[in-house]
Amino acid sequence: MKTLLPLSTALIAAMATTQAHAVDIEVGYAYSATFDLTFEQIMQEFAKSHPDITVTFRATYENYEDATNTVLREAVANTLPDVSFQALNRQALLVERGIAKPLDAYIAAEPDFETDGYHKAMLDLSTFGGQIYGLPFSVSTPISFYNRDILEAAGVDTLPATWDEVIAACQLIKDKTDKEPLYWEWNISGNWLLQAAMWSQGVPMIKDGKLNMDNPEGLKALETARRSFATVA
């Protein structure tokens, strides 16, 4: 019987079997175009270090939504992979369903874990009930791009440094040019800019494994999003 075991997280969660010695393991991850080459390189080194372990990669998840939905179905059918890379914001669901299992015993058995580079802040994001359910693998950082020509055409001489200044600049672009003032990317996995609107106030979007927007900072973040969208409406 296989049970899910978050082995990597932050943008990733993983799973492992309850067998004492894994010789053949199956791995699932998302975004083939992004990670195929990475895993090819990792496997070259892994095979040298662990020649007794055979790794088989399952069909790549289309995205992190697909990754979680696939694992939920596989849990019902008892066909889980041994390791699965999941989005950071999906860990709590897998833990609550009893699909993910803690990694503390595995970590304790690793003599060099303290020097492997896993930052405590990242491990804390995968800690539930005092136990670690995932290890970080990759982290995405949202960034903003500006078109200086469009800003100058709208009369904006200084790059915006706050959300209020961003929105004011977008309004000027809307009023004075025929250009689209803003593109705000949104999807279930990421919500990067909404998270940025929270973090810029020093407040995390997720706290203790739960959505943390029922507060003044959350209201301000949503209001920032609303005002931003209004500049392109």
Q: Where do the DSSP E strands lie in the chain?
A: 24-28, 54-57, 83-84, 127-128, 131-132, 206-207, 210-211
Quote the pTM value.
0.70
* pLDDT in the model for residue 5: 47
pLDDT given for residue 143 in this prediction: 79
pLDDT in tens, 86-108: 988 788 899 999 999 999 999 99
* Mean local confidence (pLDDT), 56-73: 94
pLDDT band of 114, cuts 50, 70, 90: confident
C-beta of residue 189 within 8 angstroms of C-beta of residue 140: no
> Quick check: 218 pLDDT over 80?
yes
pLDDT of res. 22: 55
Give residue 20's pLDDT band: very low, low, confident or very high (50, 70, 90): very low
Amino acid 179: pLDDT: 93
Pairing of strands 83-84, 127-128: unpaired
- pLDDT confidence of 223, banded at 50, 70, 90? very high
CB of 50 closer than 8 Å to CB of 41: no
- pLDDT, the chain, mean: 85
